[in-house]
Structure 1
Amino acid sequence: MDQRGFGVDFGGSGIKGAPVDLVAGEFAADRVRIETPQPATPDAVAAVVAELLVQFRGTAGTVGVTVPGVVRHGVVSSAANIDASWIGTDADALLTEATGHEVHIVNDADAAGVAEVAYGAARGQQGLVVVTTLGTGIGSAVVHDGVLVPNSELGHLEVDGHDAESRAANSAREAEGLSWEAWAERLTRYYRVVEALMSPELFVVGGGVSKHAQLFLPLVDIKTPIVPAALRNRAGIVGAALHAARAV
């Protein structure tokens, strides 16, 4: 595997990219951010990814790109929070043609999970690790002995008659004005369901709210160890670059 890669994190407001040192799991240069085009169609996003790579002339090797959707063999098959025209798009082929680099896409939560297991809070952890990202929704990544089981979508489990993320995502906390204690009760219920289904060795909690982990994670009452993510907003870019390097 190459020691350098390039990762791109495609989000609702910004598309961010940086070269990545795949030994250390760190950016090899400062990240560059470009506003996400509206509408964020596949062709429009491909043009932005190509523009990002132009700003890092000399970038060689594969490029990894996160997508907030289910990914199968480089094809996007869901679009809950992105333009519907992504559904059915062979994004690997589209982005490879647009950029002139070999590109591999990966679900955004899966990218974060791969990064946390390789370099972050779950480094060295054997067995089953479940990484969740608490944001607008709940993203999830399931990794067993370092191997990703993709597209787990555990944020859409039904818990007490509700789509889990509609009650337990950070957006629900903000929209309903929940205290950290009240939100922790909902998170406890959610993680107990996942715990009962999967019996993981470790939960890792990411997303922007993880920087406040000390305010809510100690209140989550489950048997499984649960820790905040280490890479935070670097996880998508780093995980995408690592995924692409491994895909070669």
Structure 2
Amino acid sequence: MDVFGVDIGGSGIKGAPVDLARGELSEERFKVLTPTPSTPDAVADCVRQVVRHFGLPVGPVGVTFPGVVVGGTTRTAANVDKSWLGQDAAGLLGERVGAPVTVLNDADAAGIAEMSHGAGRGRTGTVIVLTFGTGIGSAVFTGGSLVPNTELGHLELHGHDAETRASTRVKEDEGLNWSRWAKRVSRYLAHVEMLFSPELFVIGGGVSRKAEKFLPLLEGVSAEVVPARLENSAGIVGAAMAAAAAGVVPAAAA
């Protein structure tokens, strides 16, 4: 049995059924644009659309959210509508899709997938997975265990929120070439390295598909830096894994 994963982002909402054993999408993902304004009701309708695209019946669903999530409730909302603050996301989405829903931070989901099936597999030291997109998400692992909701994209860097200087959206909005953007990313990685001393950075998000354009340009970072192997599907895979871990998936399926 496959488990469904949905990845809510600041610009798009995408999902697919996931083969948990292989850590891969079992069908091509389906994506819709994140609504404007991105209120809970509007986003929930989009999540329902993505899930129902694959037909019924709908089994357990894992959903990522671009912000801090505690016990299924969204605590921050940096890149979506502020009405998400304090929202029972698991309850709302579960009611809308008609199935049990597990909600977690988007970068945490991507990190879980990369540590199990991707670039972080087998690594037991401190590993930091960073997702570059509308903002910068982070997932920190030590000894293979996740420290949830770290939100390192909001570290202050030269007087600015780091993600307002080095996200993929900023690269596009400011028309930065790969060299100029890589300098900003290098400064950000060096700052994170100074604070956490990781042995490995895994760079995820859509930009991971173009790793050859910027990874060779990074400088001033001692830790190993590699692209995410699951690329932009990591969040979907990790969401499905979280649904399984939450105990909403029958043991035979997980």
TM-score, reference length from structure 2: 0.89
Once the 2 structures are TM-superposed, how far is the Cα of residue 48 of structure 1 from its aligned partner? 3.1
Give the count of matched residue pairs: 245
Once the 2 structures are TM-superposed, how far is the Cα of residue 196 of structure 1 from its aligned partner? 1.2
Q: Structure 1: which amino acid aligns with 2:177? A: S
Distance 1:181 1:30 in 2: 33
- 217-226 or 51-60, which deviates more: 51-60
Listed as ranges, the matches of 1:187-206 within 5 Å are 187-206=185-204
Distance 2:246 2:20 in 1: 14
Listed as ranges, the matches of 1:50-129 within 5 Å are 50-54=48-52, 55-60=54-59, 62-129=60-127
Equivalent pairs: percent with the same residue?
57
The 3 A distance-change label for structure 1 pair 94 and 230 is same
For the pair 1:225 / 2:224, whether they are aligned, the reply is yes
Q: Any idea what SS the aligned residue of 1:188 has?
A: helix
Distance 2:145 2:6 in 1: 21
Q: Any idea what SS the aligned residue of 1:204 has?
A: strand
Q: Any idea what SS the aligned residue of 1:216 has?
A: helix
Once the 2 structures are TM-superposed, how far is the Cα of residue 109 of structure 1 from its aligned partner? 1.4
Distance 1:8 1:211 in 2: 20
Once the 2 structures are TM-superposed, how far is the Cα of residue 153 of structure 1 from its aligned partner? 0.9
The equivalent position to 1:143 in structure 2, one of 133, 141, 157, is 141
Q: Is the 8 A contact 1:118 1:146 kept in 2?
A: no
RMSD: 1.8
Q: Is the 8 A contact 2:135 2:168 kept in 1?
A: yes
Once the 2 structures are TM-superposed, how far is the Cα of residue 11 of structure 1 from its aligned partner? 2.5
For the pair 1:41 / 2:39, whether they are aligned, the reply is yes
1:9 is matched with 7
Once the 2 structures are TM-superposed, how far is the Cα of residue 225 of structure 1 from its aligned partner? 0.3
Q: Any idea what SS the aligned residue of 1:39 has?
A: coil
Distance 1:203 1:42 in 2: 32
Give deviations 1:68-99, integer Å, cap 9, x for gaps.
12111110011111122111111111222222
Unaligned runs of 5+ in 1: none
Unaligned runs of 5+ in 2: 248-254
Q: Structure 2: which amino acid aligns with 1:173? A: K
The 3 A distance-change label for structure 1 pair 37 and 6 is same
Once the 2 structures are TM-superposed, how far is the Cα of residue 203 of structure 1 from its aligned partner? 0.1
Q: Structure 2: which amino acid aligns with 1:129? A: V
Q: Any idea what SS the aligned residue of 1:132 has?
A: strand
Distance 2:86 2:190 in 1: 34
Q: Structure 1: which amino acid aligns with 2:83? A: S
Give deviations 1:139-162, integer Å, cap 9, x for gaps.
111122332211111111112222
Once the 2 structures are TM-superposed, how far is the Cα of residue 10 of structure 1 from its aligned partner? 1.6
The 3 A distance-change label for structure 1 pair 46 and 181 is closer
Once the 2 structures are TM-superposed, how far is the Cα of residue 12 of structure 1 from its aligned partner? 3.4
TM-score, reference length from structure 1: 0.91
Distance 1:224 1:16 in 2: 31
Q: Is the 8 A contact 1:19 1:59 kept in 2?
A: no
The 3 A distance-change label for structure 1 pair 25 and 184 is same
Distance 1:129 1:122 in 2: 7
Distance 1:165 1:128 in 2: 22
Once the 2 structures are TM-superposed, how far is the Cα of residue 49 of structure 1 from its aligned partner? 2.6
The 3 A distance-change label for structure 1 pair 193 and 34 is closer
